[in-house]
Amino acid sequence: MVQEVYAQIRNEFGTLGEPLTLHSPLPPVLAGLWCSFRESLVAGVVPRAVKEAVAVGVSRLNECAYCIDAHAVLLRAADAHEAAALIQKGNEGGISDPQLRAAAAWAKATRSPGAQILRFPPFSGSEAPEIIGTAVWIHYINRMSKIFLGGNLIPGRLNRLGLRSLAERAGGWVFASSVRRPRLAGESLRLVPEAKLPEDLAWAAESATVARAFAAFAAAVEEAGSQALEPAVRECVLARVEEWSGSEPGLSRSWAEPAVSGLEAKSRPAARLALLAALAPHHVADDVIAGFLSQYPGDERLLGALAWSSFTAARRIGSWLNPDAAHQELTRGSA
């Protein structure tokens, strides 16, 4: 399965990106991850530049340096150099292209349930599965990249030498033919089994291919999570994420301790890791990972725990990106 997925990634994407390959210890999760990425962001009817603008905007919102670099390069490859530079600087309002400006502004609001732009998004119902799917996928991969990959994709020394813009433009040139090549929707679905689309992913239902891809990814992540984390730990995380409204939970990680205190001592390291991955991935330090591995050794279990936690948070975000859901969040918040 890994060989098949890698072959399609190379053909469709041009390179085996580390955020994808780090999932290889769990082949079903890797396949679902790739399919949901391809069918929402790479293929489809929405212009690639619009979806890459969303990807850069969400990555900047989450302060994921690696993903900002990667998708800024891909946005440049879609011939949107101005938008890439301005989103990176936090100046979305200065983008001259109105569609890209609106997409970046929407991305910036994706952790603000009830925001006006979420209630009245700058895209149609038929475009929603691809654009919301892109945002949900990026919110997931930002968490995994911050935990596993750390810093920038483009070396810091190029920035110090004033060569960052040149490196980004060169990267855009390398990926231009791949990014601009039309893709037939659904070609990745042979890699994953059919699964039922969960209710909280209903925003994908208007697109059969996006819905199938995210249903398969959700099923693979749920299976990995059930193998990695005890039911009590998952219930603890789900309860805390259900209360979350997109804001930072705290400057330190001390907020997680009351949440895990009701669990058995041996379960607390897993719950701590899972909570931090979901809501504050920048606090997943070596000692947090070591605490988990001391109780539950193995790369597969660690990856499963982090994938499940990260996707749980991304799904929560997706639940308020549907315009109807956004209105419900606003109504509930003002009650």
Neighbours of 47 (CB within 10 A): 16
Residue of 35, 64, 67, 236 marked catalytic? 67
CA distance 35 to 1: 13
Residue 187: which residues within 8 A CB-CB, separation 6 or more?
8, 38, 43
DSSP state, 181?
Answer: S
| Sequence letter at residue 18 | E
- Cβ(228)–Cβ(295) under 8 Å? no
CB 80 within 8 A of CB 52: yes
Mapping DSSP to helix (H, G, I), strand (E, B) and coil, where does residue 96 land?
A: coil
Tokens of 33: 């991850």
Copy the structure tokens of residue 240.
């805390």
Q: Give the span between the Cα atoms of 242 and 26, in whole angstroms.
A: 26
Q: Is 35 a catalytic residue?
A: no
| Vertex 94: Cα angle to 90 and 100 (nearest 5) | 85
d(CA 135, CA 57): 9
Rounded distance between C-alpha atoms, residue 63 and residue 145, angstroms: 11
CA distance 220 to 197: 12
Q: Alpha carbon of 28 to those of 1, 166, 191, 204: distances in Å?
A: 8, 38, 9, 20
**CA nearest to 290, candidates 308, 269, 305:** 269
| Residue positions annotated with a catalytic role | 67
